[in-house]
Structure 1
Amino acid sequence: MATSEQPELDFLLVGGGLGNALIALALFAHRPELKVGLVEQGRTLGGNHLWCFHAGDVDEAARGFVSQLVSARWPRYDVRFPELSRTLEEPYAAVRSERLDEVVRGAFAAQRGSRLYLESRAVRVTDRTVTLEGGRELRARTVIESRGPDALASSERAGYQKFLGLELKLRCPSPISHPVLMDALVPQRDGFRFMYALPFSSDRVLLEDTYFSDDKQLDREALEREILQYAANHGFDVESVVREEVGVLPLPTRLRPEPNPAPGGPLVAGYQGAWFHPVTGYSFPVAARLACAIAAAEPGALREQVWPRLVREQRAQLRYCLLLNKLFFGAFAPDQRLNVIERFYRLPPESVRRFYAMTLSRGDRLRILCGRPPRGFSLSRALSASGGDSAPPSVRPTPGGALS
């Protein structure tokens, strides 16, 4: 028999990833009078992740609570392609999951009436209640769930972004002082491939081998060899590997979930609710924007008035980005996809920034798609991939059980 815990919370967040962590921090920053609970089945928050974002992607309302999470920041970054080498004077930042865990724990400890429920598995989630394994029931005026990328299980996928990253301790100072977001001068195989480099300090760097591929197979041992060879070839004198992160993210062309929220169900945030960038896999800017919108809303108006507007706004951006995935994977052979990204990085810096932030203007959309197509574009291939359907894909964000 379920037992109910009193008093009732104002917000109850299910899942301890990036999305709910930012929602909690936004509420504490802007609505400190509210009582917030967060349920996470693990011992820590955030898992084993490194989230990166363009600093200009974060709205002014979020900068206060986001700044305390930042583990590293750089004033610019480079991209490298066969016919384009460019430095963009755009700030770039990184957040480690360890830092996220530390900051969010501290925020809950300082917030009277709010509570973390770690090592607690939610077995039933409704719009007002969360039942934990063992029968304990928590109640709140608003429940928000964000527990994983499972919502994409039945979605149509164009391809995958897959990567292995190694954080390396160096014997000698790093040969780079700011990030290389894409070094596409590496041999192209298994789709579009690039190396990603983040220098955290003079003796610590992350190197990541990334693929935009038609399949999700990833040979970790082979990629580790490739990364270490790249390091040797580019002047990184490696002493040891101190951390590893691996990921395979589905990149969809169409999402077909149920409405968000489902009747009697929680509001659904995070990757699970389609609050992510389907082209890049980036989730930080969208998650921060959503967190601020939730904190700014009157709790009584959130579900019926504010949330539907937020879903519509995200859906409008999703439609266009899903169309880009459809063209990228459908209209270009794997060995020609590099040309698409190289052309993209010739755009004005503000258009690049808004693309990553998922706040594209009408002008940005025209700049990306209009003009002479990149080399390798095949209309017949595109029509074949779409089954002859040239209409932009429709999207309905999901409810349910994270690129957090």
Structure 2
Amino acid sequence: MVDSPASPAAAAAAPHDVVIVGGGLAGGLIALALHRHVPGCRFLVIEAGRTLGGHHRWSWFETDIRPKARGLMAGFALNGWDEGYDITFPGLGRTLPTAYRSLASAEFHRALMAELAEGRVMLGTKVAGLDAGGVTLADGTRLAAKRVIDCRAFKSSKHLAGGWQVFLGQHFRCETPHGLTRPVIMDASVDQVAPHGNGAAYRFVYVLPLSPTEVFVEDTYYADQPKMDAEVLKGRVAEYARRHGWQGEVIDQEAGILPVISGGDFRAALAEVAIPGVALAGARGGFSHPLTSYTLPFAVDNALAIAGLLARRPDVSGSELAAFCKRRATRHWGATAYYRMLSRMLFEAAEPDKRVVVFEHFYALKGRLVERFYAGRSTWPDRLRILTGKPPVAIPRAIRALFSSGKPLNMETPA
């Protein structure tokens, strides 16, 4: 059990086998995998914030994680729904049978701090620099390490193309039971207009029934700019809750802006953030779903792959680990090309007010196809089926988007 996080003085006392910079989802799961599968590994997680995982909620379909990898999530108190989920569009309402899971960052922090050995986590600690031989903290303390893994947040690049997914969610404690038994993954029957007259944008509301009287409501839209008007989104969430009769207090809130990648020069983008001899993981290293921005399934796979390599080869060098992660990232980029093409269709081929039609067309397809899509494992028949039928976009625009390199990812810092 961890009594308290590691102190810089204690951490600097001896070289570490692995230092992980960034205690978000990717970094936390790598630490957990090392703890469980590499006995004796002297690792350290350095996190600038006061908790591991920040302030987030991660959700995924049960089928997103391969059966043999699901054990890594054992030990976390998850919200789970085995009876499937609902989707609603202007012309389509449907229940799909896939089980759904969700994990709050507060539980992520609690479970990791309880399981990891004492002294393996440094919270509230800023890093000044990383290199192949270790990490230098902002106060000048030097931590020597055989291997360093950079799991810091995604950094936008002039070499990438795409748009953004903007969201704000609130956790309500209702005065009376809300009556929901399943999540509503997408309610796109709502107004398809971006805040402050910025035009149409694919928008939906996401709802998780966390208990009979607690519900999480999130307003999400796809946008060309990484901007958020939190007050407008709060108002939209409150209006949606009122419309459904959910009266009560807001006990928590989260917000974020995630990249939706549609193309680019991945090697050049990776080179912008890569440090010689330092491994890259998480969204910063390119491990996300280009269209949905989901990261958890890929974080699980990466954590187990890294732990498996160190268990097989305890003498693997930091440079070899960095090359290992780069190869995995390059393969992931290649394997997800189809989803980047669909992102281009969304942002370039579909008129903004017709983007909802693209998703409605997709959700009318077979449930197993939808499962494989979210997991990033669409088969070739799946891919053909998604693109066949009555086209939700104009064919000339679709052809141009197909061969486009994508709209440059706006380099403005997400607000």
Q: Which region of structure 1 is more displaced relative to structure 2, 325-334 or 294-303?
A: 294-303
SS in 1 for 2:55: coil
C-alpha distance in structure 1 between counterparts of 2:304 and 2:272, whole Å: 19
Equivalences for residues 375-386 of structure 1 within 5 A = 376-377=393-394, 379-380=396-397, 383=400
Give the deviation of 1:308 after TM superposition: 4.5
* TM-score of the superposed pair, with normalisation by structure 1: 0.87
Is 1:177 aligned with 2:187? Answer: no
Structure 1 residue 312 displacement after superposition: 3.1
Aligned twin of 1:81: 89
Aligned CA distance change for structure 1 residues 258 and 328 (closer, same or farther; 3 Å)? same
Q: Distance in 2 between matches of 1:88 and 1:265?
A: 45
1:247 aligns with 2:256: yes
1:392 and 1:55 map into 2 onto residues whose CA distance is: 33
Structure 1's unaligned 5+ residue stretches are 394-404
Aligned equivalent of 2:403: 390
RMSD: 2.4
The residue type paired with residue 394 of structure 2 is F
- Contact persistence 1:50–1:95 (CA under 8 A): yes
Confirm or deny: 8 A CA contact 2:88 2:186 kept in the other structure.
yes
SS in 2 for 1:41: coil
Identical residues among aligned pairs (%): 34
Match of 1:204 in 2: 214
5 Å matches for 1:345-364?
345-364=363-382
Q: 1:268 maps to what in 2?
A: 280
Q: Deviations over 1:373-404 (max 9, x none)?
A: 22x43524763xx6xx81677xxxxxxxxxxx
CA distance in 2, matches of 1:181, 1:263: 38
Partner of 1:286: 298
Q: 1:59 to 1:141 in 2, by over 3 A?
A: farther
Which residue type is aligned with residue 196 of structure 1? Answer: Y
1:330 counterpart = 2:337: no
1:304-319 mapped onto 2 (5 Å cutoff): 306-319=324-337
Q: Which residue of 1 aligns with 2:198?
A: none
Equivalent position of 2:241 in the other structure: 231
Separation in 1 of the partners of 2:131 and 2:377? 31
Q: Alpha-carbon deviations, 1:277-312, whole Å to 9, x = none?
A: 121111111111111111111354552774344223
Asked whether the equivalents of residues 71 and 95 of structure 1 are also in contact (C-alpha less than 8 Å), the reply is yes
The letter for the 2-side match of 1:345 is: Y
Query: Residue 159 of structure 1: CA displacement?
Result: 2.1
Structure 2 CA distance for partners of 1:351 and 1:142, relative to 1, 3 Å: farther
CA gap 1:380/1:349 in 2 versus in 1, 3 angstroms: closer
8 Å contact 2:131–2:275 — kept in the other structure?
no
Q: TM-score, normalised by structure 2?
A: 0.85
Displacement, 1:138?
A: 1.4
Match of 1:108 in 2: 116
Indicate the residue corresponding to 2:76 in structure 1. Answer: 69
Task: Report what 1:34 is aligned to.
Answer: 41
The 1:124/1:92 distance shift into structure 2, 3 A limit, reads same
Question: CA, structure 1 residues 141+196, in 2 after alignment: closer, same or farther (shift >3 Å)?
Answer: same
Aligned CA distance change for structure 1 residues 82 and 161 (closer, same or farther; 3 Å): same
2:327, 2:224 → 1: CA distance? Answer: 34
